[in-house]
């Protein structure tokens, strides 16, 4: 019996033991649905099982207060439960339904710093209008990713040029800024501005002054208080640009 199926069975036992009738009914319904696999898409049977598994993992995570322990647990759960295989099947199947397994796993990938993999699912999350878990105040995925990536940028920026180049964090910002413009994401102007402002600072730190200047102008266009006007002036002098507004 797979780890996921064992957790499904355990979840039912727990619900019965706690005399939670609603959970028992919900679990029984899921079990019946799973048995009727011939009438359903296989990926939906997968979802029933993995939803129980992710809920069990989330409950376990609440028991940890140490961030490092939570990080370790998430990485281990992703491997042991073969969560990524499920996400690949879900994406390839063309299925489209509210999917808490997808949303939580993408959040975990970001927590673990697996940005490249997490970003592969960003278009799907937006297209399917998947909702972030209620535990998050952020209501849309572009804002969530920008906020998290900004913090990632800060972390590498304070470490200097070598750390930035080794981390390839600038490539992540290139991806995000390109998608921001191509998809015309509608986000708060402060959020949009800080995406381009951090991209500018990272490019400036690695001596890519032309890119840095372009990001500065876009940041200021989105939010006049993005905080990179002074940097833009300095960069303009370096690359021989003339600012139309020197205020």
Q: What is the pLDDT of residue 242?
A: 76
Please state the domain extents for the chain.
3-111, 141-239
- Is residue 31 over pLDDT 90? no
Which pLDDT score, from 0 to 100, does residue 23 have?
Answer: 54
Residue 183: per-residue pLDDT: 84
Mean pLDDT of the chain: 86
pLDDT(190) > 60: yes
Evaluate whether 246 touches 240 at the Cβ level (below 8 Å): no
- Give the C-alpha separation, 237 to 131, whole Å: 45
- Asked if residue 208 has pLDDT above 80, the reply is yes
- In this prediction the pTM is 0.80
Which residue would you say has higher pLDDT here, 42 or 238?
A: 238
Highest mean pLDDT among 12-16, 18-22, 25-29, 65-69: 65-69
- How far apart are the C-alpha atoms of 154 and 146, rounded to whole Å? 12
pLDDT 10s digits, 48-96:
999 999 999 999 999 999 999 999 999 999 999 999 999 999 999 999 9
């Amino acid at each position: 019996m797979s780890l996921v199926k064992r957790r499904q069975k355990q979840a039912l036992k727990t619900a019965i033991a706690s005399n939670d009738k609603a959970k028992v009914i919900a679990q029984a319904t899921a079990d019946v649905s799973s048995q009727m696999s011939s009438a359903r898409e296989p990926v939906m049977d997968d979802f029933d099982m993995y939803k129980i598994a992710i809920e069990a993992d989330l409950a376990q995570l609440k028991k940890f207060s140490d961030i490092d322990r939570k990080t370790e647990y998430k990485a281990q759960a992703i491997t042991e439960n073969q969560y990524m295989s499920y996400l690949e099947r879900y994406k390839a199947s063309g299925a489209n339904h509210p999917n808490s397994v997808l949303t939580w796993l993408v959040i975990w990938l970001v927590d673990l710093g697996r940005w490249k993999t997490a970003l592969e699912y960003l278009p799907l999350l937006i297209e399917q209008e998947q909702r972030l878990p209620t535990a998050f105040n952020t209501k849309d995925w572009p804002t969530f990713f920008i906020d998290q990536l900004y913090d990632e940028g800060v972390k590498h920026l304070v470490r200097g040029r070598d750390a930035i180049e080794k981390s390839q964090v600038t490539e992540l910002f290139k991806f995000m800024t390109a998608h921001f413009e191509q998809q015309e994401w509608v986000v708060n102007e402060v959020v949009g501005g800080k995406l381009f402002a951090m991209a500018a600072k990272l490019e400036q730190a690695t001596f890519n002054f032309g890119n840095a200047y372009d990001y500065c102008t876009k940041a200021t266009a989105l939010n006049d208080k993005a905080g990179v006007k002074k940097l833009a002036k300095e960069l303009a002098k370096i690359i021989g640009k003339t600012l139309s507004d020197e205020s």
